[in-house]
Amino acid sequence: MTPLAENPGFAVVAAVIGLGSMGLGMARSLKRAGLDVVGYDITPAAVDRFVAEGGRGAATPAEAAQNADIVVSVVVNGAQTETVLFGPQGAADTMKPGAVFISSATMDPAVARDLAARTEALGLLYLDAPISGGAAKAALGELTIMASGSGRAFDAARPALNAMAGKVYELGDAAGTGAAFKMMNQLLAGVHIAAACEAISFAAKQGLDLDKVYEVITASAGNSWMFENRMPHVLAGDYTPLSSIEIFVKDLGIVQDMARSERYPAPLSAAALQMYLAAAGAGMGRDDDSSLARLYAQLSGTQLPGSAKEPQSR
């Protein structure tokens, strides 16, 4: 890892906290747009990879944020975001007054509001800005960003938003609104994946040609973006994680918490959550979320591509 140093040749310094499949693509997009980018990740090898590509590396969130105008946090949830900001060697300790913290984690809107209030009390800006689009869109700088925050936060974040996103939805002047929009997206995404996996496994149980099922459904009214995007993983028998089962255990769990607090019935997302929990309990938690198809296959004695033949029952 190279030591962190000032680089006055760039007008805007951005720190990216979290260099996983999404964060690395976002850091690359920022760098490609001409920002001076410092990266931090809990895994040193991820930082080393970014440094090898010409970025700068830091050993802690505080070090990464020290001279940054913009700090982009690309971690998993609200708890990790709180640690990035306020934990030992947290970014809030070193961010300069008026710098903006862009939070891209998926979290309960109430948590986003609390983090924003604590951040802003320190003279910093906070933009609630969850993301959608996957690793491919992150790498291209074409993410969808669902953002809410003050006008000052948007203004300060604009160089990063322009570099990372194909679409930026400005959804209000208070943190929490962006988080709520993202949870509606995750409700639909989780249910659609579960439905797609149920359908493809049921088709296998019927003895149908799954390649032809995919061709027909993607040209028909029953298609969804998730069916079209995820079912090729099932057809290939490849469950290498692009988005894991555990992501939807977390996100649909948040949906259920939100619904319960509002006394709002959400039975479809509740049923989908139970399937993700079952898949995680069966050892698939870190596998691709299309692994729900494997769970359906196991429960019904159905053979999917790439799986050992199991007894068929009717």
Q: Which two tokens stand for residue 223?
A: 């298609």
The residue from 31, 137, 182, 250 that is catalytic is 182
Angle 244-235-139 (CA atoms, 0-180°, nearest 5)? 50
Residues found in the chain: 314
Q: Which two tokens stand for residue 53?
A: 């590509």
pLDDT of residue 307: 72
- Please give the torsion angle defined by the CA atoms of residues 65, 69, 75 and 78, in that order, rounded to the nearest 10 degrees: 100
Angstrom distance (rounded) from CA 130 to CA 81: 12
Angstrom distance (rounded) from CA 283 to CA 182: 27
Query: Which pTM does this prediction carry?
Result: 0.90
DSSP letters, 181-228, are HHHHHHHHHHHHHHHHHHHHHHHHHTT--HHHHHHHHTTSTT--HHHH
Q: Which residue has the tokens 């939807």?
A: 248
Average pLDDT, the chain: 94
Residue 3 has pLDDT above 70, yes or no: no
182 a catalytic residue: yes
Helix (H) or strand (E) holding 169: strand 165-170
Q: What is the tens place of the pLDDT at every residue in 76-130? A: 999 999 999 999 999 999 999 999 999 999 999 999 999 999 999 999 999 999 9
Angstrom distance (rounded) from CA 64 to CA 62: 5
When pLDDT is averaged across residues 60-70 and rounded to a whole number, the result is 97
Whether 144 and 77 have beta carbons less than 8 Å apart is answered as no
Contacts of 158 (CB under 8 A, 6+ apart): none
Residue 18, sorted as left (phi over 0), alpha (psi -120 to 50) or beta, turns out to be left
Bridge partner residues of 131 (DSSP): 145
Q: Which amino acid is at 236?
A: A
Neighbouring C-beta atoms of residue 299, cutoff 10 Å:
12
Least confident of 2-11, 51-60, 204-213, 284-293: 2-11
Give the three-class secondary structure for 286. Answer: coil
Residue 10 has pLDDT above 80, yes or no: no
Choose among 283, 281, 291: nearest CA to 200. 291
Angstrom distance (rounded) from CA 218 to CA 205: 20
Contacts of 161 (CB under 8 A, 6+ apart): 102, 129, 145, 147, 154, 168
